[in-house]
Amino acid sequence: FRDGVRRVDFVLSYVDDKDGEKKQERRKEFEANLEKAGLELETEDKSESKDQITYFLKIHAPWDILATYAEVLKIKVPFKESDIPHGQDVPLEWLSHPLRLPEHIMRPQPDYFTYPFNKQKTDFFLISDKDTFFPPSTRSRIVFYILGRCPYYNEGRKDREKTGIKRLLSNGTYAAAFPLHDDCAVHCCAFDHLVETIPLSLALWHGGLPAAKSGITARDHAP
């Protein structure tokens, strides 16, 4: 985000076209409902993009939203460093692996016991920094879960079919939806650089399925 503090957990992109007014109304309702759901949004104008026609909507999930949905999704998180012995700690274990790599190469990060997250018991978990406690993959998973269930109708009109990012991708309201790789999620300010790093992101979704890493276009066939 422009404040240099909030990380980008997910990005939606779109362009203006012949059905721009209808799609703009869908985006307006959808994004308003995303904000009601607790997500924070920031739009990069097309003038900042490399092709000069693509808008990018950056999405950030604050701690309260991450904690709420981590509990809903029963996401397992670390609560204690594992004390189960590895390799060199097991008597004579090295005999069966004479060419074993050094432990700091085999396991650069410590292992942990994990348990489904509970926002009422945060003291139970190893939370040293709320901004980094949930890894980028988990943050993206939570945002995508919300995107998939958020409606794009206003409160006065209930239409169950008008729900979710998959449908908005299918009808061309958005061109693509994707998380960013770790470095760009925090440090990318220039969106020319963001566009160049899209192929390095964890995945690209179009219509809810993994898509090619370039040349994504929206199909304009759903209402």
| Contact (CB, 8 A) for 168 and 26 | yes
Residue with the two structure tokens 């005999």: 95
Q: What is the pLDDT of residue 219?
A: 37
Position 99 scores a pLDDT of 57
Q: What is the pLDDT along the chain (223 residues), one digit of tens a residue?
A: 999 999 999 999 999 887 788 999 999 999 999 999 999 999 999 998 888 999 999 999 999 999 999 999 999 988 766 455 555 555 555 455 555 655 555 555 557 688 899 988 888 887 889 999 999 999 999 999 999 999 998 766 667 778 999 999 999 999 999 998 655 555 454 444 555 544 433 334 444 433 333 333 333 334 4
3-state helix, strand, coil in the chain (%, to 5): 40, 15, 45
What is the predicted pLDDT for the residue at 203? 39
Contact between residue 48 and residue 182 where contact means Cβ atoms under 8 Å apart: no
Contact 145, 69 (CB under 8 A): yes
Place of tokens 């292992």: 111
